Amino acid sequence: MDKYCKISKKCGGCAYQGIPYEEQLRKKETQVRKLLSDICPVRPIMGMEEPYHYRNKVHAAFARKHDGKVISGVYEEGTHRIVPVESCLIEDEKADAIIGTVRSLVNPFRIRIYNEDSGYGLLRHVMVRRGFQSGQILVVLVLASPILPAKNNFVKALRKEHPEITSIVLNVNAKRTSMVLGERNIVLYGKGYIEDTLCGKTFRISPQSFYQVNPVQTEKLYGKAVELAGLTGKERVIDAYCGIGTIGLIASGRAKEVIGVELNRDAVKDAIYNARINGIKNAKFYAGDAGEFMTVMAAEGEKADVLFMDPPRAGSGEAFLSSAVKLGPEKIIYISCNPETLARDLRYLKKKKYEVKEAWPVDCFAWTNHVESIVLLSKLKSNKLKHIDVELEMDELDLTAAEKKATYQEIKDYVMEHSGLKVSSLYIAQVKGKCGIIERENYNKAKSEDAKQSQCPAEKEAAIREALKFYGMI
Ligand code: SAH
């Protein structure tokens, strides 16, 4: 019997609540199959055995109600109202318990809660990360100022309730922004990061670094990715969008050389450190935009044998892909968390002399409508190229049409990823209206003349416009 969450409608995090898990898997597989129908065969989805409490990173926003009660949870969709969350079916239970303890310590320690409207107050968010294999736990207190009164006693009280906590960090975020973490970290206790083991390697994960949230499925995901690469020990491998170096370092034992590139400097530092603690000597990591990095490599006439690429939801785009093609890897392993941008990028590579062999959907996000996929591409031998040239014209037409459209969900995801803001369909419709994009559905019209509708705030409007620009809609 599936478990049921009472607050799922308000929280909005689990779009597949109420749908049996097996059916969720079928829906995700069908979605990938549909999007890639003209591109490649899609293998059966790899599902979870225990689809609960898998999220190893939990984050909660804090607020104080009028009666003085402290609540923590997630923002209700399209608002800055907090939906209180005390326990969650997909989050790590220990992390939820720690956040509950922080909530209970706020009043005794007289900690002021940050008020988004006035900009006054101290505590904004709490983030907890737990190493699935190591059991290490990092608690990040996001405060508007670097000074936490009675910090030593606070740390003591928190550790007394949860002796398993291995590190506590104060993250300073003084900006009027919806981004959760600021840039500065002050370690209050422990090492300031956690370590975890994945596919037999140890990884340091700093507060700001990306790390897959579902550790059990991630092992399946990376295991399959490395298997598809078919490495023999002679290859020069690129790990693009490498985060803390996971995929490249896992593959390094079967390759001659690994080169990783990643935008987030903290993650790159983690990757370099991770190579060292695992005794890996054939891996190098660079900080920078993956597209620019590939362009420079291609311009310098560099070559690569295998390319792993694992971009964020927006996908990769032409600057990266055109240079990737110039580098000419025999195999590309594309790991994607957004099948729509994946399809777009695969169409491009298909035009550029790559054969898209097969796709493997993996469920890393049970109860949500998100799905991860791995795709294997291989470079066509020159005698097959003629056939591809004929296909090219049709694909080109498809690509332009596809690029002009983005679903509401894609726009929401883009905005969330790039500005950390949750935006409603209503707001998107309002901005589309302002930009002269005609709406079929009347999201932007009030039902009756005197009905009042909330208007999209300027900050969100700017973020939505950016997404519309990205998708070539304005
Ligand atoms: N492969 C890693 C990380 C994947 S998530 C893992 O599995 O853990 C995507 C990563 O791409 C994030 O770490 C993000 O910081 C990084 N990223 C986003 N935009 C980028 C860009 N333009 N160039 C390089 N890296 C980028």
* Active-site residue, from 337, 364, 435, 456: 337
**Residue from 173, 165, 183, 51 nearest 99 by CA:** 165
Query: What pLDDT does 391 receive?
Result: 37
Domain positions in the chain: 8-49+214-399, 57-198, 402-470
Give the lowest-confidence range in 44-58, 362-376, 386-400: 386-400
Q: What is the pLDDT of residue 260?
A: 98
How far apart, in Å, are the Cα atoms of 464 and each of 15, 74, 344? 22, 21, 21
Q: Is 391 annotated as a binding residue?
A: no
Quote the pLDDT of residue 20. 96
Q: Where are the alpha helices (DSSP H) in 183-330?
A: 215-229, 246-251, 265-277, 290-299, 318-327
Q: Tell which residue, 196, 140, 191, 198, has the closest CA to residue 166.
A: 191
Q: What is the largest CA-CA distance in the chain?
A: 75
**312: which 2 tokens?**
């964020």
Mutate to test the pocket of ligand 1, among 262, 274, 292, 323 (most ligand atoms within 8 A of CB): 262
CA 244 to ligand 1 centroid distance, Å? 9
The H or E element containing residue 59 is strand 57-64
Minimum-distance ligand 1 atom for the alpha carbon of 267: 13
263 close to ligand 1 (CB < 6 Angstrom): yes
* pLDDT at 453 (0 to 100): 64
Give the CATH class of 57-198. mainly beta
pLDDT(26) > 70: yes
Angle between the 425-434 and 458-470 helix axes, to the nearest 10 degrees?
70
- How far is 261 from 462, CA to CA, in rounded Å? 29
Specify the DSSP element, H or E, that contains 99: helix 93-106
Beta strands in 324-472 (DSSP E): 331-336, 354-362, 372-379
Choice between 163 and 416, residue whose per-residue pLDDT is larger: 163
Mean local confidence (pLDDT), 306-326: 96
Could you write out the three-class secondary structure of 322-354? HHHHHHCCCEEEEEECCHHHHHHHHHHHHHCCE
pLDDT of residue 116: 84
Choose between 179 and 387: higher pLDDT: 179
pLDDT digits (tens, 9 = 90+) for 350-381: 999 999 999 999 999 999 999 999 999 999 98
Which helix (H) or strand (E) element contains residue 27?
A: helix 21-35
Instruction: Tell me, using a 6 A CB cutoff, whether residue 274 lines ligand 1.
Output: no
- Tell me, using a 6 A CB cutoff, whether residue 241 lines ligand 1: yes
Instruction: Inform me whether the pLDDT recorded for 386 exceeds 50.
Output: no
User: How far is the C-alpha of 100 from the C-alpha of 95, rounded, in Å?
Assistant: 9
| pLDDT, greater one: 473 or 400 | 473
- What is the average pLDDT across 132-156? 97
In this predicted structure, the answer to whether residue 393 has a pLDDT above a threshold of 50 is: no
Would you say the CB of residue 212 lies under 6 angstroms from ligand 1?
Answer: yes
Average pLDDT of the residues of the chain = 90
Distance of CA 471 to the CA centre of its chain: 19
pLDDT by residue (tens digit) across 266-303? 999 999 999 999 999 999 999 999 999 999 999 999 99
Residue 46, CA distances (Å) to 25, 54, 335 in order: 8, 15, 14
CB 145 within 8 A of CB 154: no
Highest mean pLDDT: which range of 59-68, 164-173, 453-462: 164-173
Residue 296 CA, chain-centre distance (Å), reads: 26
pLDDT in tens, 214-269: 999 999 999 999 999 999 999 999 999 999 999 999 999 999 999 999 999 999 99
Q: 235 among the known binding-site residues?
A: no
Indicate whether residue 247 lines ligand 1 (CB < 6 A).
yes
The tens digit of pLDDT for each residue in 430-464 reads 888 788 775 543 343 443 433 456 788 989 999 99
Residue 65 Cα, ligand 1 centroid: separation in angstroms? 37
Question: 210 CA distance to ligand 1 centroid (A)?
Answer: 7
Structure tokens of 199?
Answer: 């596919």
Band of the pLDDT at 63, cuts 50, 70, 90?
A: very high
Nearest to 140 by CA among 197, 208, 56: 208
pLDDT of residue 388: 44
- For ligand 1, whether the C-beta of 316 sits within 6 Å is no
456 noted as active-site residue: no
Whole-structure pTM over 0.85, yes or no?
A: no
Contact predicate 154/109, CB 8 Å: yes
Spell out the residues 6+ positions from residue 454 whose beta carbon is closer than 8 angstroms to its own.
Answer: 78, 426
**Does 403 have pLDDT greater than 50?**
no
pLDDT band (50, 70, 90) for residue 73: very high
Domains 8-49+214-399 and 57-198 alike in fold: no
**Closest residue to atom 3 of ligand 1, CA basis:** 243
Closest Cα to atom 13, ligand 1: which residue? 243
The CATH number, out of the four listed (3.90.700.10, 3.40.47.10, 2.60.40.10, 3.40.50.150), of the domain defined by the range 8-49+214-399:
3.40.50.150
Q: Is 324 in the pocket of ligand 1 (CB under 6 A)?
A: no
